Amino acid sequence: MPGEHRSAENEGVEVVLDMLRSEGNRVTTSRRLLIRCLIEAKSHLTAEEIADDLERRAPDIHLSTIYRNLDELERLGVVSHSHLGHGPATYHLSTKVHGHLVCEDCGVAIEAPDEIFSQLALEIMEKHDFTIDTHHFAVLGRCGPCQSLLASTDPASKETSR
């Protein structure tokens, strides 16, 4: 039911805001709306997409306020940002740790469980004494549907994809 969905979203916003309050952080209207926007989002959003959403709710919230809040919420561990390919950074709540797989053809971003990057991170540390942040970047490649489309339209691709 729509009312139940709204209630769950409100509860999610309040949980995040309570956590901020308990750590002595301010809860402002812009933070409340920004967190609500991220909870309601079906995917990761750019700062500009967040600004578009917030402008409909509260036209007096400026883009600079959104960026300041995103930076502060990221510092507090509430929000994470990632670079999903060649576009601008995208933001999401830090509720579950995950990496990203991005198709270079169609742009679909797939959230991948953190465990699949664990071995990669370990090998890089062991071989190069370098720690990677697996949540900040995306692994670029080609999704299944695009692989199939390419294979069906380009016989030479069958040779290069092996």
- Domain with 139, as residue range(s), is 96-162
pLDDT at 162: 46
DSSP 160: H
Q: Quick one: 75 and 132 in the same domain?
A: no
Average pLDDT of span 131-159: 80
Q: What are the residues facing 113 on neighbouring strands?
A: 98
pLDDT at 14: 86
pLDDT at 161 over 70: no
Q: Quick one: 41 and 105 in the same domain?
A: no
Q: Quick one: 31 and 81 in the same domain?
A: yes
Which helix (H) or strand (E) covers residue 139, if one does?
strand 138-141
pTM of the complete model: 0.66
Q: Quick one: 108 and 60 in the same domain?
A: no
Which helix (H) or strand (E) covers residue 31, if one does?
helix 29-40
- The residue among 114, 84, 88 whose CA lies nearest residue 101 is 84
- The residue among 114, 95, 110 whose CA lies nearest residue 141 is 110
Q: Quick one: 57 and 88 in the same domain?
A: yes
% residues pLDDT > 90 (the chain) = 37
Angle at 50 between CA 44 and CA 51, to 5 degrees: 160
**pLDDT tens digits, one per residue of 57-97:** 999 999 999 999 999 998 888 888 888 777 788 898 887 66
pLDDT at 102 over 50: yes
Q: Which amino acid is at 146?
A: C
% residues pLDDT > 70 (the chain) = 85
